[in-house]
Amino acid sequence: MPTSPAARARRRRAAPSVAAALVGALLGACFSGEALRGEPCLEDAACGPSFACVDGFCGGEPETFTCGDGVEVAIVNIHPNVVLVVDRSGSMADVDPGADGARRWEVLRALVAAIVDRFEPEMNLGLVFFPAADASPNQVERACNADLLPAVELQPMAGAALLAALPALGDDFKPAGAAPIASALEVARDHLVSDVDRQLTKAIVLLSDSAANCSDDAGTLTEKLETLDGDAAALIEEAAAAGIPTFVVGIAVENALTPNDALNPDDPGDARPDNINPFEVFNALAVLGQAPQPGAKRFYEASDADALLDALAALPDATLDCAIPLDPLPDYPALIDVAVAGRTVERRQGASCGDEGYRFTSDALDTIALCGDDCARFQVSGALSITYRCPGSKSGGS
């Protein structure tokens, strides 16, 4: 699995925290000679009365504390995380009338290549397909099969992996199946929000020629293929509310009412939703995704790459948050060493941050905030470390 490209806090070993009552007392204490039985030590003088430092623990009875551990934040890059949700249903082998007779799949491949060419150095890209590769043109009961994982996981410099996943039309690849767009959107959204990169800009790009079908609520095969699946719109709206816009890209989308051609429950008809206007459906999705283009056509056309590329170029790089959660919680909050880009930052507890240093943001002592110039240095460098010390240990993690 590729290395995550943003701020990551990781715990080097697990340990339970000391009782909350102890934490309050320890914050104001001078720890030399006050370490309790079972607490770490470097020398006898660090331990309380009658305790010798034996094998690194006062009294020689080790307990487990979050000492010597800490939080590391390393920003590999601060570029947007963008997942492409790509249609490879059967209709993608049809001609796109607006692209000089090119097949829709080839129009899509050209657009993805343009995205890679422009943004590969400055955008982390991933790829989700719909339907799954085992969707079959001859077995309609498998037309709605969906992948459970991304075809290409989010990563920097993902161009080669993306293009390799999009083969040219031929004997070895023929688009097949229906349009389980909701399932693909769910995979894309979950991939974005499950990432620990809470700092990064996130977005979805949906590329399709089809309105969503394959609803989980459908009773018959005909209903599954011939009924619009409202879950796709709901997922796009939920993602936007979570700060993940969806750029909706249409390929040969018709501006006319689709026919009602399902004759009976055993007839899948043309395997696309009946009695809907695809143009209006795509427009609605674009508005719900909170990334529409201006004008009467709110979604983007795959054959007009420049408009989409310009919109994606407006996605901002991350603005790093200077509030850093402490995970795991330190047992001795007064004994943490904070360094930004290798330079130690002093604690300056007060009602608000000043020009430099850090402060705890609440009595819970579970988050620190970098102040002023030190916050700015972190946002430029992306490098911060927090070391947990123990009673009797020296500043700097020794």
Q: What's the pLDDT at 11?
A: 30
For a pLDDT cut of 70, what percent of the chain falls above it?
Answer: 79
For residues 1 and 153, what is the distance between their CA atoms, to the nearest angstrom? 8
Q: How confident is the model over 314-344, as pLDDT tens digits?
A: 999 887 889 988 888 887 788 889 999 889 9
Which residues are paired to 74 by β-bridges?
Answer: 383
CB atoms within 10 A of CB 347: 16
Q: What's the pLDDT at 135?
A: 81
pLDDT at 76 over 70: no
For a pLDDT cut of 90, what percent of the chain falls above it?
Answer: 54
pLDDT at 398 over 70: no
Q: What's the pLDDT at 184?
A: 98
Q: What's the pLDDT at 288?
A: 98
Lowest mean pLDDT among 12-21, 31-40, 175-184, 340-349: 12-21
Q: How confident is the model over 190-231, as pLDDT tens digits?
A: 999 975 566 789 999 999 999 999 999 988 888 899 999 999
Tokens representing 345 are 């930052």
Q: Using alpha carbons, list the distances in angstroms from residue 238 to 127, 198, 232, 233, 290.
A: 20, 17, 10, 9, 11
Element (H, E) at 130: strand 124-130
Average pLDDT in the chain: 83
Query: What integer is the mean pLDDT of 47-76?
Result: 70
Q: What's the pLDDT at 391?
A: 67
pLDDT at 266 over 90: no
- Contact of 203 with 243, CB cutoff 8 Å: no
Pairing of strands 202-208, 246-250: parallel
Angle, alpha carbons 398-63-28 (nearest 5°): 60
pTM of the model: 0.71
Identify the band that residue 52 occupies on the pLDDT scale cut at 50, 70 and 90: confident
Lowest mean pLDDT among 33-37, 252-256, 363-367: 33-37
Pairing of strands 81-87, 124-130: parallel
